[in-house]
Structure 1
């Protein structure tokens, strides 16, 4: 059996860096990519007392990464290059999300479960370079859709590109590998997604919100005076045009908001009812 776990983990750990506890990082206190919640769960599963994640031992790091990430993404059954790319994504965004990126790159339904159907699709894939590139393109799109992109975007972008290059080199069986650089950054979960633009604003304008209602009231008041006053007639015309514009702008905004929401859902690999409710169970469950 091909042994890719050790070199893949070595590359992942370079990107994860050492200890961090950034206030914008949803992972919280993290040591070498292992968040405190995960470390606490691991210690409890061994009937050991919880302790500061900075005290994590090398053997614990190895076991956590293999059991909670590598095994869940079936690393030993994935082709060279693809295994590392999916693994790195799983560490940063959770195994289910990384699996969705792989599934989308393969052109199959993205359910986040790396089972027989996904493995069969991987076996059918002839162009591993395209799969690696597809995974990383999907990953970058999601990262840009997160609220924390302005904080961690520079490091995330560099990491995605370096993982892509190394994944392609591994897939090609290259001897001189482009090693990653240290670019520790926050965890990237779909639950940190930006809020979609509110369609209610467009609905209110198009269907008669406060502005449209006010224009209608003014128009009704001026209508009887239009035949008697040139000024009233001019104001009536202006208000009628404004009312029409409000309705059109409301419709345009509503359609724009719908398109933006659909774009966000696609980037997060979610269905409409799931937006805003995605959690990171991969990082919480024991």
Structure 2
């Protein structure tokens, strides 16, 4: 059971984000964190390989449509999103979703940035896995009492941020879009790591910089496919079948033993079939081991399984 802790309700104004006078925030870091996230996200993009599709200031068209419909407003292009709408979406759907106000300095920003890029649930999973033995619950992507309790028990947030960012990078490397956006994602995560660790240690963090490709959405739906064991099954089956044939031919050789020429000819075939069959069985077993190992590593990177010993 997930016992979520409700974050304090924030005062909201009808004025436009982002000046200090126009928006009241519970945690001062939210404004600073959002400013850095918006730099990473950039402006309007619609890269054909980006699973987010048309996106402006990090808000996808799908998210914007849902937001407008929820307020009883007509949908429109995300190009027309206002500053107030940007703030409201980030505040409610990302900052509040990960309960950032209840997280330590630096950790709040790191989890928030991950939520914007890959979804709140995925970012919370990275945090839960990074907590190690301090977290006793399941890796469910929900910021419940157990997760918050474990975070509060951490005595080295600097190291925790390193582990979260390592989890995130491992996840990103196992996406089909890594070859296209990997350079940008990698640079973004390293900058997020640096900024988060500065906050965690009470230092003044660096300003964020836009990194082309780093703004592309990184969803688990775009994970690489695990290798299939079908070739292993086919090879093993063929090897076993070949072994059966070799046994049959061996029996035929025994019957033809009085005919030395025929017996020798069948014997050679028996040897060839036996060698090929053995190679197929060994190859099939080897591929099965490889496929299972790759699937286990993929599952670990995506947070769906543990690495095989």
TM-score > 0.5, shorter chain as reference? yes
**Which residue of structure 2 aligns with residue 263 of structure 1?**
297
2:268 corresponds to 1:234: yes
2:116 corresponds to 1:91: yes
Residue 187 (structure 1) shift: 0.6
2:278 corresponds to 1:244: yes
**Distance between the aligned counterparts of 1:270 and 1:191, measured in 2?**
13
Residue 231 (structure 1) shift: 4.4
- Count residues with an aligned counterpart: 269
8 Å Cα contact 1:36/1:52 also seen in 2:
yes
2:70 corresponds to 1:45: yes
2:167 corresponds to 1:143: no
Alpha-carbon deviations, 1:88-123, whole Å to 9, x = none? 000000000000000111122311000111111111
8 Å Cα contact 1:223/1:236 also seen in 2:
no
Q: Could you list the runs of 5+ residues in structure 1 that have no partner in the other structure?
A: 273-286
2:224 corresponds to 1:194: yes
Aligned with 1:198: secondary structure?
coil
**Which residue of structure 2 aligns with residue 30 of structure 1?**
55
Pair 1:216–1:47, CA change in 2 (3 A):
same
**Distance between the aligned counterparts of 2:169 and 2:85, measured in 1?**
30
Alpha-carbon deviations, 1:56-78, whole Å to 9, x = none? 00111000000000000001111
Alpha-carbon deviations, 1:248-284, whole Å to 9, x = none? 1111111111111111111111259xxxxxxxxxxxx
Residue 39 (structure 1) shift: 0.5
Superposition RMSD in Å: 1.9
Q: TM-score by structure 1 length?
A: 0.88
**Distance between the aligned counterparts of 1:190 and 1:271, measured in 2?**
14
Pair 1:97–1:113, CA change in 2 (3 A):
same
Aligned with 2:28: secondary structure?
coil
8 Å Cα contact 1:205/1:247 also seen in 2:
yes
Residue 217 (structure 1) shift: 4.0
Q: TM-score by structure 2 length?
A: 0.82
**Distance between the aligned counterparts of 2:59 and 2:187, measured in 1?**
20
Q: Could you list the runs of 5+ residues in structure 2 that have no partner in the other structure?
A: 1-25
Bigger proportion of residues as helix: 1
Structure 2 counterparts to residues 146-165 of structure 1, below 5 A? 146-165=175-194
2:163 corresponds to 1:134: yes
Greater mean deviation of Cα atoms: 196-205 or 95-104? 196-205
**Which residue of structure 2 aligns with residue 102 of structure 1?**
127
Aligned with 2:141: secondary structure?
coil
Which one scores higher on RCO, CA 8 angstroms, separation ≥ 6? 1
Structure 2 counterparts to residues 178-189 of structure 1, below 5 A? 178-183=206-211, 184-189=214-219
